[in-house]
Structure formats: C-alpha cells, structure tokens
Amino acid sequence: MVTDEENRAKGALKKAAKFGEDIDLDEYDEGSRELSTSGSFEDLSKDTQRTMLDTGIMPTAQGKSGNFLLMDNTVVHSATMGTGVELMPLSQAMKVHDWLKDYVWKAVQPDTDKYTAETYLEKADGYFIRALPGAKVQLPVQTCLLLKNRNTKQFVHNVLIAEEGSEFEVVTGCATSKGVEKGLHMGISEFFLKKDSKLTFTMIHNWSEFIGVRPRTIVQMDEGAAYINNYVALKPVKTIQMYPTANMNGKNGVCRFSSVAVAHPGSVMDLGSRAILNAPGCRAELISRTITTGGTVIARGQLIGNAPGIKAHLECKGLILNDKGVQIAIPELEARVPDVEMTHEAAVGKIAQDQVEYLMSRGLSEEEAVGMIVRGFLDVGIRGIPEHLKAEIDKTLQETDVRGM
C-alpha cells in the first residue's frame, strides 16, 4: 500500500531546495549498503582512522559512550559502551522500538525537497541515539559519516532522542576518504529533546573540494530543554547548504548555535541556523564566524519570536581575506508578539588594519598578526566546544591557511 507520505515524497523528487545550487541526483550512484563491517574502531584501517581523527573522532572505544560509523550507505560499526544511552542503526531500532514510528519523519517532512524525498524513499539508514530518562551520560557518543567511494551518493537518516531529564553529548565527524573525486551527502537528522534534557551536539565537517553536502536537521524541544549546537567547517567543500532549525515548543527552553566556517577558493557554503521560539521564557543565541579565503559564504540566521518573554540574539560576522571571496550575511528577526527581546548584529569586511599594526608593534610579522586575528575571530565561535575536542580543532585552526591578503 502506498502511503500518503510516500506519495508526497515521490512528488518532491524533483523539488529543488529553497536555498543552494540544485544538484542533479541522477549523476551519482547509490552508495553501497554492503561494505564489510568492523568489530571496533580500533580494527579500522590506519587510513580510515586518520580520516576520522581529522574530524575529531577518536578511533577508540575508550572514554566514549558509543561509537558509530557509516561508510557510504553501510553501517560499518555500531557499539554502545556506556550506560544510560542506546546507540544502534536506525533500521535496527525500528525493529526494537515499536514506538519509534511516532518519531521517524515527524520532525523533518519527507517532501521538504528532493534530498529529503530521496532519503525517505531509499529508506536510508543512520544512527539512532537515545539517552534514557534522567541519565547523565558522562562520556560522549561518537558518530562518523564517511564517503568511501567515488561518485557515491550517501543518504543518512538519524534520529536522536533525549529523554526527560537526560544530559549527554554527541560528536559527529563527517569526512571523505582520500581520492574520492566526486560525491554527495544527504543527511536527515531528527532530534527530540524532552523536558529538561540537555544535548551538546558538535559536528565537524571535513568533506573535500569535490563533495556536495545537503544536511537537513530539525530539533524539537520541550519545556526546559537545552540544545547546544557547535558546527566547525575549516576544510574545503564543493557546495554545502544547510539550515538546521530548533523548534522551541516548551517554555524556558535554551538553544545556542555556534558555527565557524572557512570558505576556501571554489567552495560555496550556504550556512544558516534558525530558532523558532514558540513558548514563553525561551532563549536562543545564534552565532556564526565565517571567513572566505576565496570561496563564497552565505551566513543566514533567523529568529522567530512567537511567544512573550523570550530573548534571542543573532550574530553573523564575516571576514574577507581575498579579493575573490564573497561574504553574504542574512540575519532575520521575526517577532509576532510585542513582549520579545530580539537583537542581531552582522558585520562583514576585511581585517582592521589598526589591529594588524597593533600586533606588529609587538614584533609580529604582518602574516603572523593576520593569522592571530583570524584565529581569534574564529575562536569566538568555538568557545562552547567540549574540551576534549578543543586540541584537535585548535590544531586544525593553526594549520588553516588564512593567507589571502
């Protein structure tokens, strides 16, 4: 029997997304669902381990609550080590938890665009993570999404549930294996944060200059829930467009999106974050720090205030380090009731010369001064990042080529 949902998805197979270059899905081959699996992260090849490390994923079970790896369209590894949290492939979770059908495709609509439609119709697999009620999970869950083979389209469907009063942390690293010169990633993520739960979600993108990326993320938040989202993309990508959205449906919810991104020559990055404050007392903060060294970056942000007593701030700041680079900042505020406090701050431009010279007066060369200012600029966007990831990201930041002037 063909369901209504299926029909809608089929109808959306050619539907271009609202933003971003329209990608022809027929140009890509479906990623394999039958790659060989692995008993642990430690058993993976050294190459794969290195690729994972670059996205902040430690190739070890130690100190982690769970590990998950999807390569192309195969769940290569999935293991839960800690207590208080469940981690398994979504396909398996659907068999284990009958109630899961009340969550799957309930946050993201299958007919949103061609990417959601195809992911829906392909019955994509992905991770299912659930923090049990009241569980304070100390160690992070790691998930890694890898593009392994050339010309692959990877579709992923993730569902994450933070049960009432739970607290946990998830790190997602996304990367491409060396030599993969064409690929497409579509990732649907549906997060449900129950009453008084807290999730810190950090995503590090390390695709490559050949890869198209179309994540679709919706976060549903109940009363008192806290959602901290960190996004880091310092490496080249061909085209990425995403606009993760938090629906803050319960009162006194808190969410913070922090994003840092570098658009290298040839990269087109259309990055947004949105918070819809539907209940009294909700607070949201959206912060992005973007740099172009020759690519195009569009920093979108939207705050929608639908309830009284809410407070929200949006900040998009961009640096242009190269003549060919383009920075577009599009902050939007939408208030539908009078008693709201919503602000935004957007600024794009080059590095201030007086700052550069101030550092030079302390003996730094111009290049060192620019590097220090640029890294400081980005650092503001990643201050909320968990400590265990800081070292790796700092290292990447140090290595990031910010010469452009």
Partner 1 sequence: MLEIKNLTVEVGGKEILHDLSLSVKAGYTTVLFGPNGSGKSTLLMTIMGFSEYKVKNGSILLNGEDITHMPVNERAKRGIGMMMQRPPNLTGVRLKDLVRIAGKGEVDPAVLAEGLDMTRFLERDVNVGFSGGEIKRSEILQLEAQKPCLLLLDEPESGVDMVSIEKLGLKVHDILQGQSHCAGWREKSGKAALIITHTGQILDYVEGDRGYVMCDGTVACSGNPRELLAEIRKMGYNECIRCKLKRPNVVENL
- Whether 191 and 217 have beta carbons less than 8 Å apart is answered as yes
Segment contacting partner 1 by CB under 8 A, of 91-99, 216-224, 322-330, 355-363? 355-363
Under the binding rule (CB under 8 A), the answer on residue 342 touching partner 1 is no
Under the binding rule (CB under 8 A), the answer on residue 191 touching partner 1 is no
Q: Which of 39, 179, 338, 363 binds partner 1 (CB under 8 A)?
A: 363
**Whose Cβ is closer to partner 1: residue 338's or residue 363's?**
363
**Whose Cβ is closer to partner 1: residue 167's or residue 315's?**
315
Under the binding rule (CB under 8 A), the answer on residue 16 touching partner 1 is no
- Whether 369 and 377 have beta carbons less than 8 Å apart is answered as no
Q: Token match 């998830």: residue?
A: 170
Under the binding rule (CB under 8 A), the answer on residue 339 touching partner 1 is no
**Whose Cβ is closer to partner 1: residue 29's or residue 379's?**
379
**Whose Cβ is closer to partner 1: residue 139's or residue 356's?**
356
**Whose Cβ is closer to partner 1: residue 350's or residue 375's?**
375
**Whose Cβ is closer to partner 1: residue 131's or residue 314's?**
314
**Whose Cβ is closer to partner 1: residue 136's or residue 395's?**
395
Segment contacting partner 1 by CB under 8 A, of 94-102, 117-125, 322-330, 361-369? 361-369
Under the binding rule (CB under 8 A), the answer on residue 394 touching partner 1 is no
Distance CA 382, CA 390 (A): 8
Segment contacting partner 1 by CB under 8 A, of 12-20, 69-77, 353-361, 388-396? 353-361
Which tokens in the block code for residue 294?
Answer: 């020759």
Under the binding rule (CB under 8 A), the answer on residue 345 touching partner 1 is no
**Binding positions for partner 1, 365-384, rule CB under 8 A:** 365-366, 368-369, 372-373, 375-380
Segment contacting partner 1 by CB under 8 A, of 126-134, 204-212, 318-326, 346-354? 346-354
Distance CA 310, CA 252 (A): 8
Which tokens in the block code for residue 222?
Answer: 């109940």
Segment contacting partner 1 by CB under 8 A, of 127-135, 175-183, 329-337, 364-372? 364-372
Write down the least CB distance from residue 358 to partner 1, Å.
Answer: 5
Under the binding rule (CB under 8 A), the answer on residue 398 touching partner 1 is no
Write down the least CB distance from residue 364 to partner 1, Å.
Answer: 6
The 271-300 contact track toward partner 1, x by CB under 8 A, reads: ------------------------------
- Whether 246 and 276 have beta carbons less than 8 Å apart is answered as yes
Q: Which of 18, 46, 178, 362 binds partner 1 (CB under 8 A)?
A: 362
Under the binding rule (CB under 8 A), the answer on residue 348 touching partner 1 is no
Query: What size, in residues, is the chain?
Result: 405
Under the binding rule (CB under 8 A), the answer on residue 109 touching partner 1 is no
Under the binding rule (CB under 8 A), the answer on residue 387 touching partner 1 is no
Under the binding rule (CB under 8 A), the answer on residue 350 touching partner 1 is no
**Whose Cβ is closer to partner 1: residue 26's or residue 354's?**
354
Q: Which of 35, 328, 348, 359 binds partner 1 (CB under 8 A)?
A: 359
User: Residue 82's CB: how many other CB atoms inside 10 A?
Assistant: 18
Q: Which of 353, 387, 398, 399 binds partner 1 (CB under 8 A)?
A: 353
Under the binding rule (CB under 8 A), the answer on residue 42 touching partner 1 is no
Q: Token match 């690929």: residue?
A: 183
- Whether 55 and 204 have beta carbons less than 8 Å apart is answered as yes
Distance CA 23, CA 6 (A): 22
Residues that bind partner 1 (CB under 8 A): 352-355, 357-366, 368-369, 372-373, 375-380
